């Protein structure tokens, strides 16, 4: 029914492949894969498809031609508006001369062998921590260490810990120093290193976000809580941490803009977000985690300008914003990847 309703609004299907919204039940576990460098997307996705139901795909490509090939491949497997995953493609530098890097979230099939290097986020409270950035000693290694230590303090404040982390996502520059980031993450987590996703961005040093499980919350707790660790400010366009205590999740991917200037393009994206979330049983006050990819300074500034019009300053989602070379479609300068929770009924 949801797919049929969404198909009535062409603007909701701006991405050339995949589903506008994918729902995951409150009782469903979620498996987070590591990022895989590949030259063949279909071959890489095959074991993931066999392991469960794909709900989100995040693809990084090295150049516009690779983006076109990625969309073509994904459209063959997951026709636009169908029952496939929510898909987001961005263009930026990749390590080791690769053309594609892909990671996924899926609902694992009972009894199926786990995907190598993956982590399962069990049903129950889930914690999404916004990107944090610490300078450390000014080197990439030192900044990575300091940021991971800061994230650990945030996790502990929310009743979680680093052993509960199921994904680490790092935005850093330059991609040529990816090994430095990998080594510091492995040193910090030890034998329990979770899946790691690397994305080069246009800012100095590094920002890191994490997804983790959290202990059970009291029965009277709200569905969604917005948390600020001690010593940090409380922003009005994003929250430091979003804790989901219960409820089904909604994955919204590939939300692209349309317009003659950055402001109209960003407003189009935010209007789509409002429509998709409301049609899916959520709203702008139940957004959990946003990732904004922008490829122009004007678009980045417009996003900062317009978010206060759409978000309740007491209930904005956790978020990261990354400046990238491209957002997967020609002529576009922004794409939004969002996770939301269903509203209470």
pLDDT digits (tens, 9 = 90+) for 37-68: 999 999 999 999 999 999 999 999 999 999 99
174 upstream amide cis, omega within 30 of 0 = yes
DSSP code, position 97: G
Supply the CATH classification number for the domain 126-217+228-233. Answer: 3.30.1330.40
Instruction: For residue 7, name the pLDDT band (cuts at 50, 70, 90).
Output: very low
pLDDT digits (tens, 9 = 90+) for 298-327: 999 999 999 999 999 999 999 999 999 999
What pLDDT is recorded for position 81?
Answer: 66
Q: Where do the domains of the chain lie?
A: 126-217+228-233
Q: How far apart are CA 123 and CA 80, in angstroms?
A: 29
pLDDT digits (tens, 9 = 90+) for 89-139: 999 999 877 899 999 999 999 988 888 899 999 999 999 999 999 999 999
Instruction: For residue 11, name the pLDDT band (cuts at 50, 70, 90).
Output: very low
Closest by CA position to 103, among listed 211, 183, 250, 176:
211
pLDDT digits (tens, 9 = 90+) for 253-265: 889 988 889 999 9
For residue 84, CA distances in Å to 27, 47, 224 come to 20, 15, 27
What pLDDT is recorded for position 96?
Answer: 74
Closest by CA position to 132, among listed 18, 32, 200, 229:
229
**Average model confidence (pLDDT) across the chain:** 92
**Complete DSSP assignment for 57-92:** EEEEESSHHHHHHHHHHHHHHSBTTSSS-EEEEEE-
pLDDT digits (tens, 9 = 90+) for 125-177: 999 999 999 999 999 999 999 999 999 999 999 999 999 999 999 999 999 99
Would you mind telling me the total number of residues written for the chain in this entry?
Answer: 345
Residue 224 has pLDDT above 90, yes or no: yes
Q: How far apart are CA 278 and CA 343, in angstroms?
A: 9
């Amino acid at each position: 029914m949801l797919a049929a309703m969404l198909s009535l609004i062409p603007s909701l299907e701006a991405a050339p492949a995949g589903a506008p919204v994918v729902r995951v039940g409150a009782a469903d576990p979620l498996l987070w894969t590591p990022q895989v460098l590949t030259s063949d997307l279909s071959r890489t996705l095959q074991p993931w498809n066999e392991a469960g139901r794909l709900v989100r795909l995040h693809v990084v490509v090295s150049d516009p031609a690779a983006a076109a090939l990625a969309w073509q491949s994904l459209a063959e497997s997951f026709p636009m508006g169908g029952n496939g995953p929510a898909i987001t493609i961005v263009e930026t530098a990749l390590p080791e001369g690769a053309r594609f890097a892909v990671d996924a979230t899926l609902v694992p099939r009972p009894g199926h062998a786990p995907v190598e290097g993956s982590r399962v986020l069990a049903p129950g409270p889930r914690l999404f921590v916004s990107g944090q950035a610490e300078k450390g000693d000014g080197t990439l290694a030192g900044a990575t260490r300091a940021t991971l230590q800061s994230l650990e303090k945030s996790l502990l404040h929310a009743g979680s810990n680093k052993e509960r982390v199921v994904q680490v996502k790092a935005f850093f520059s330059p991609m040529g120093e990816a090994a430095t980031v990998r080594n510091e993450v492995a040193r910090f987590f030890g034998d329990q290193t979770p899946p790691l996703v690397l994305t080069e961005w246009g800012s100095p040093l590094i920002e890191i976000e994490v997804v983790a499980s959290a202990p059970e919350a009291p029965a009277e707790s709200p569905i969604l809580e917005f948390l600020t660790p001690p010593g940090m400010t409380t922003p009005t366009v994003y929250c430091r941490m979003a804790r989901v205590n219960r409820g089904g999740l909604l994955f919204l991917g590939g939300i692209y803009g349309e317009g003659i200037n950055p402001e109209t393009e960003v407003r189009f994206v935010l209007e789509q977000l409002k429509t998709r979330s409301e049609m899916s049983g959520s709203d702008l006050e139940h957004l959990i985690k946003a990732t904004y990819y922008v490829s122009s300074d004007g678009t980045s500034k417009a996003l900062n300008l317009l978010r206060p019009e759409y978000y309740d300053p007491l209930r904005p989602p956790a978020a990261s914003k990354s400046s990238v070379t491209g957002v997967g479609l020609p002529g576009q300068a922004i794409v939004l990847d969002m996770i939301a929770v269903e509203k209470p009924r």
